[in-house]
Amino acid sequence: MTQQTERIPVITKIIYGTGDWGVASFNTLRQIFYAIFLTDVVGLDPRLASFAAFIGVIWDAVNDPLVGAWSDKLRSRWGRRRPFLLLFAVPYGLAFLILWWAPPWKSQILLMIHMMLAYALSDTFQTLVVVPFHALTPEMTSDYDERTSLASYRMFFNFLASLAAGVVAPMIVDATLAGGGTQQQGYLVASAIFGATSVVPYLLIFFAVREKVQPEDLPKEVSLRDTVRQVWENVPFRYATAIYMLNWVTFDLVAAVLPFFLVYWIAQGDLLLKMPLLGMPIESTVLGIMAILAVPALPLWSWAAHRFGKRPAYLAAIAFWALILLSLLFVPPMKLGLAMVIAVLMSLSYSAAHMLPESIFPDVIDWDELRTGERHEGIYYGAKNFIRKLTTAFALFLTLQVLGWLGYQKPPDGAIVFTQPDAVITGIRVLVSPVASVLLIALMVVTWFYPLDRRRYERVRRLLARRQRRDALRRASA
C-alpha cells in the first residue's frame, strides 16, 4: 500500500496545476487560430503556410531532447527543473508575440521563411519551460492515483485557459476591428494578454514546488545518444508514445478543422452568424461549451481511472469520442441546436483526452528506473513535448495542404457571407469525421495492448522500494 507521506497537499497541487494555463494558452491559440492567421492575416498560400509550421518543428527534434537532457543533468540549489522556470518564464511570455506578428514582406517565400523562423524561436522558449515543468510530475509523487489526481488539477487550469483562448481571443480580435484596428493588432493584443498571464504561474511554481529527487539520485553523465537508446528500450514507453501521438494528432486535427466545419458547413458561409440567445459567434459558443463542461467531467474520469484503472477508462473514452466524431458526418447545415448538443457530448472525451494520457506517461519513467537504476525524466518529457508539438504541426500541415489543393479561397475583405467550393467543404467534413475516427480506432488498438496496468505498476513500485532500502543500508554500512 502507498504510504500517507506520498500524498501531496492540495495547495501544492493547485499551484502546480496553474502551469497548464501557460501550456494551454499557447497551444489552444496555435491549434485553433494559427491556420487562419497564416492564410488570412499573414497572407500565405495554404500550402506554403503548412510548410512554414511543419519545417519549424524539425528544430524540435534537436531542442526537446537537449533541454530534457540538460535538465536531467543540472545540479543547483533549487533542483534540476525549477531553475528553468525562473530563467525562462518571461521569454516564454514574449514567445506569444513572436508567433503572432505578421511581417510586411510582399514575397511569399520571405513570408514563409519568416514565419518558419518565428515558429521555431517561439517553440524553443516553450520547450525551455514546458519540458522541465512536465518533468516535475513524476518527481512530486510515485503514487499511482496521486499522479492521476495531479493530472486532473493540471487539466482544470488547462480547460480554463482553453476556454479563455477559444472564446475571448476572437472577441478581442472583433473588438479591435470594431474600434478601427486591424486583425493583426487584435491578434497581437490577444497574444500579449495570454503571454503576460502565462508568466506568473511558472514563477509561483518555482517558489512553491519542491523536487523529491536528491543530488545523489541524479543520473550519471552519459551521452545523449546512449540515453536515447536506453529510453527506446523501455517497451511501455513505446506504447505510451504511440498513445500520446495518436491522441493528440486526432485532437489537433479536429481543433484545426472544426472552425472551418462550423463556418462553412454548419453556418453555410455566414461569417457573422451568432448563436441564438447567447449572441456569440458559433465557433466561440461550441468551443466554450466543450471547455466549460470538460471541467466537471474531470472528477468522473479521475474516479473511473481509480475504480477500473487508467487503461479501461481511457478505452471507454476513446470509443465514445469516435462515435461522436462519426456523428458529425450526419449533422445537416444550420442545425445550431444539434451542434450544441454534440459539443456537450464531445466535452466528455475532450476531458479524458487531456487528462488520462498525462496520468499514464509518468508510470513508464518508474519502469525505466527499475530497469536501468537511473531516472531520466527530462529525456522522457523532452520526447513527450516534441511529440505534442509534432502533432500540432502535422495537423496544421495536413489541414492546410488539403484545403490548398482542394481550392480553398480567402474571403474578400469586408465579406459577410462567403461560400467555399464544394470540394473544400467535402474535404473539411471528411477530415473532421471519418479520418479522425480512423485515428481513434488505431488509438484504441494501441491502448488495448499497453502493458503497464495497475497491478504491474504496483509491482514496479515494490521492487523499487526494495532496491532503495537495500541501497540505503549499503550507504549506511559504508
pLDDT category at 1 given cuts 50, 70, 90 is: very low
The region of weakest confidence among 80-94, 228-242, 338-352, 368-382 is 368-382
Q: Residue 197: its pLDDT value, please?
A: 92
**Tens digits of residue pLDDT in 243-265:** 888 998 998 899 888 888 988 89
pLDDT category at 227 given cuts 50, 70, 90 is: low
Average per-residue pLDDT for the chain:
81
SS3 40: helix
**Tens digits of residue pLDDT in 55-79:** 776 676 667 777 776 777 777 778 7
Flag whether pLDDT at 346 surpasses 90.
no
Residue 185's contacts (CB-CB under 8 Å, 6 or more residues apart) are: 176
Q: Residue 189: its pLDDT value, please?
A: 92
Mean predicted confidence (pLDDT) in 443-450: 90
User: Longest C-alpha distance within the chain, in Å?
Assistant: 80
Q: What is the DSSP letter of 281?
A: B
Contact 355, 298 (CB under 8 A): yes
The region of weakest confidence among 60-69, 83-92, 153-162, 392-401 is 60-69
At 467, the amino acid letter reads: R
pLDDT category at 288 given cuts 50, 70, 90 is: confident
Query: Which tops the pLDDT comparison, 45 or 91?
Result: 91
**Tens digits of residue pLDDT in 157-175:** 887 888 888 788 877 887 7
CA nearest neighbour of 20 among 157, 174, 214: 157
Contact 236, 363 (CB under 8 A): yes
Buried b or exposed e, range 196-223, using 16+ CB within 10 angstroms: ebbbebbebbbeebebebeeeeebeeee
Could you tell me the three cell numbers for 264? 462553412
| DSSP H or E segment with residue 196 | helix 183-208
Q: What is the DSSP letter of 144?
A: H
**Tens digits of residue pLDDT in 194-222:** 999 999 999 999 988 877 655 444 455 55
SS3 274: strand
Mean predicted confidence (pLDDT) in 314-325: 91
Flag whether pLDDT at 360 surpasses 90.
no
Flag whether pLDDT at 2 surpasses 50.
no
- In the chain the domains, ranked by start, together with CATH numbers, are 10-210+222-473 (1.20.1250.20)
At 197, the amino acid letter reads: T
DSSP states of 336-384: HHHHHHHHHHHHHHHHHHHHHHHHHHHHHHHHHHHHHS---HHHHHHHH
SS3 472: helix
**Highest mean pLDDT: which range of 11-25, 129-143, 166-180, 381-395:** 11-25
**How many other CB atoms sit within 10 Å of the CB of residue 312?**
16
Q: Is the dihedral of CA 451, 452, 454, 460 positive or negative?
A: positive
Could you tell me the three cell numbers for 132? 522541465
CA angle 260, 262, 268 (to 5 degrees): 95
CA nearest neighbour of 212 among 144, 128, 136: 136
Percent of the chain with pLDDT strictly greater than 70: 90
Contact 242, 446 (CB under 8 A): yes
Rounded Cα distance, 41 and 37, in Å: 5
- pTM of this prediction exceeds 0.85: no
| DSSP H or E segment with residue 52 | helix 46-56
Flag whether pLDDT at 233 surpasses 80.
no
Flag whether pLDDT at 3 surpasses 90.
no
Rounded Cα distance, 112 and 144, in Å: 45
Q: Residue 293: its pLDDT value, please?
A: 85
The region of weakest confidence among 56-60, 88-92, 94-98, 237-241 is 56-60
Number of H helices, E strands in the chain: 19, 0
Query: Which tops the pLDDT comparison, 434 or 209?
Result: 434
Burial of 160 (0-12, 13-18, 19+ CB in 10 A): buried
Q: Residue 215: its pLDDT value, please?
A: 43
Q: Is the dihedral of CA 403, 409, 414, 416 positive or negative?
A: negative
